Structure 1
Amino acid sequence: MAFELNLTAFRHASWGGSSGLADFIRLHDDWSGASFTWAFSQGPGGPNAITLNNASEGLQGISASFEPGYLHPVSGEAVGGTIIRPQIDQTTLESVNVLSPTQNVIPLHHTLYVIPENEPRRVVCFGDFTIKQGAPSA
Structure 2
Amino acid sequence: MSDSETYVTPKVAQPYWAKHAYEVLVETAGRYNAVITYSELAEEVQRRSALHTRSAMRNWIGGLLADLVKVNHLRGEPPLTSLVVHKQDGQVGDGYDEVCASMARHRSTTSSSGKPTRPPRASSATGAGEPTSLLMRSRP
Shared fold by TM > 0.5? no
Higher-Rg structure is 1
Higher strand share: 1
Q: Highest relative contact order (Cα 8 Å, sep 6+), 1 or 2?
A: 1
